[in-house]
Amino acid sequence: MMKVVGLISRRDFHVSRRILNSFESVHISDTNRYKKLLIERGNFTDQQANTIVDLMTDAMKGGINHVAQDLAKREKLTQLTYQQRVDFAKLRDQLLSSDKTEFNNIQNEYERLRTDLEKLRNKLREEISKANAGFKLDLSLEKGRIREESSHHDIQIKQIDTRIDEEIVNMKIQIDSVKTQVMQWLFGVCTGTFALVLAYVRLIS
């Protein structure tokens, strides 16, 4: 459709130029016949007829020049309209191309961001997996250490219990030994006292 409009506009340009050239080349001929008619039919003098013919010639030339100027303005306006249509078509093509390029750029940027986000997500997932594995390992080691400490404490408690039992047995043995010694001492004291009493009784009697 744009090509058809261009052809029509160019054709109008050529027609306008031909009309303008024909107006500019207009020449009013046979003015003497009009002078004779004015003298014969209008009873004008020769000077009056010349003046009237000159005025009419100037008026016609002025009208022709005015029409030619209007046609020139119309031709310029048509050229301007055609140029604006061409510029608008170019601008539309540029806008469409720019929009397509911008859309492609946005789509490429979106794909790049999605790829980066997927990489970041995978990296974060790996970091979380590593952190969980490290935490589980640390927890397992801590459990093992606590278990070892608990076993060590149990052994120490058993050793302390055994030592306490041994100390209790030793204390019982010592108490029994002291009891035996005390009993022996008491028996000796009682025996000595009884012997002294018997000796005293014998002395008295």
**Looking at the domain assignment, is residue 168 inside a domain?**
no
Measured between alpha carbons, how far is 119 from 189 in angstroms, rounded to an integer?
A: 101
Establish if 20 belongs to a structural domain. yes
Residue 124 domain flag: no
Q: Per-residue pLDDT averaged across 182-187, rounded? A: 83
Name the domain count of the chain.
1
pLDDT band at 19 (very low <50, low <70, confident <90, very high): very low
Task: State pLDDT tens for residues 136-160.
Answer: 888 888 888 888 888 888 888 888 8
Alpha-carbon distance 85 to 178, whole Å? 133
DSSP letter for 44, please. Answer: -
Nearest to 50 by CA among 36, 70, 69: 36
Residue 176 lies in a domain: no
20, pLDDT greater than 70: no
For residues 39 and 97, the answer to whether their CB atoms sit within 8 Å is no
Q: Is residue 56 part of a domain?
A: yes
Q: Tell me the pTM.
A: 0.31
DSSP structural state of residue 1: -
